[in-house]
Structure 1
Amino acid sequence: MNGPEIQLSFAPGLRLFVAADRRAGATTVVTDGTSSLGHLVESLGVPLTEAGRLLVDGRPVPPSHVPAAGETVEVAGVERPQEVPGAPLRFLLDVHLGTLARRLRLLGVDAAYESEDIGDPALAALSAKERRVLLSRDRGLLRRRELWAGAYVYSDRPDDQLRDVLGRFAPPLAPWTRCTACNGPLAEADKDAVRERIEQGTENTYDVFAQCTACARVYWRGAHHARLEAIVTDALREFGDGAPAPAAP
């Protein structure tokens, strides 16, 4: 680039995306005089999914703004909770976020998940087709133009990932209502109706069952129930509406 110089700074939460020499505060950036501010921000490493308000000399501007010489630009982080207008709040997770997908489903959040790597273009196109917020730790994927909406998952720890997504988007929680395997809705199931799908020991030990209406998987309060219930209880305590957790199947 060889054009107008501007002063540009990123909010603290965005500095992990940029080079070390741009993390301390406002730095001088030489622009080409024609590229938009949105393009400039992404060229410096910050996906626009993570950028909140763009301020030029203290006034908000759209990403299409073309910076002029001498302007001071501040890039804020997204406000939380973040609103996603125009569609019911639904998510799409890439191949690396399987545990997060299952935990979101456990809480009743609509979370589609690709268990195989179908490629960045296909993921972005699926986000647009189904109007889902794409969750990923792949910064390049989040910069794809065909993406409908997206969000960077900041941690590689499932507990922190879940808190991050729930805190950022505040989705309605309805625990124990979705299949953790396929994302389909669960319905109560009579033992006689599911007998052929469960082991003899399970049949003799448990009486309450639920079944996925999409893939027919059967659920009951098995050996892992205490761990799952702890995840639900913690999420409702921090991000729920204060109502007690509904009974698990």
Structure 2
Amino acid sequence: MPRIDRRSLLACGLAAAAIWRPLGRARAASFKADPFSLGVASGSPRANSVVIWTRLILKDTSAITSADPFAPASKRVAEPMDIEWMVAEDETFSKTVQSGLFRAVPEFAHSVHVEVKGLEPGRWYFYRFRSGNATSPVGRTRTAPEGGDAFRFAFASCQQYEQGFYSAYGEMARSDLDLVVHLGDYIYERSYGNELVRQHGTGVPSLLYEFRDRYALYKSDPQLQAAHAAFPWLTIWDDHEVSNNYASDRAPDAPNPA
């Protein structure tokens, strides 16, 4: 099974830089800070398709000069950005399978969600994104096998950012897996316990942009990013994605129940 290491990632970057095609504003944008600081991810693998994802972290409405997931909403870029994506059979991107342009809009926090179809079942692919002078890390994904073919997977849940570091994800990224299944509580809306190793740095979210900021904080962890980049994920949610012990239309612990 193909593996990604730091040397391979650098080689991918050099190879892909030579074959990116200039497409619209994906070519025109100029960044002074990495807009792909949240990494890349893939998920929902089917036998002939997979979703690839990234999110641009941008601020400063006059010039795209810095990246900060916690910048005030008024300082974030409020215009669409064109993102070029590419999927290849090999990690040097010499065998391109598909590519295209995705318009990332502020209404969806400049996230990129591409469903790549027409792929072969049960095989590995590599993918990456580009906008202007910025290129994302390389991600690796795999389509679902056909029929009863076996596959290897790990599962995770309840990743409270403040209560521990994500070393288990670093171990996953180095393992021989085909899939990661996340069983919920990808984020936590509040702090729990006294012996915290790091801080959320903000209060309990209740507005959309606050939840997006919380996801950005969690996704900034390099070991979590490594596990996302190494394999496709299947994810479900649990209560802490919204509020502790929520059920139906009741959220008894929410600071803003409405």
**Same fold at TM > 0.5:** no
Q: Which has the larger radius of gyration?
A: 1
Looking at secondary structure, tell me which structure has more helix per residue: 1
Higher relative contact order (CA 8 A, sep 6+): 2
Q: TM-score, normalised by structure 1?
A: 0.21
Q: TM-score, normalised by structure 2?
A: 0.20
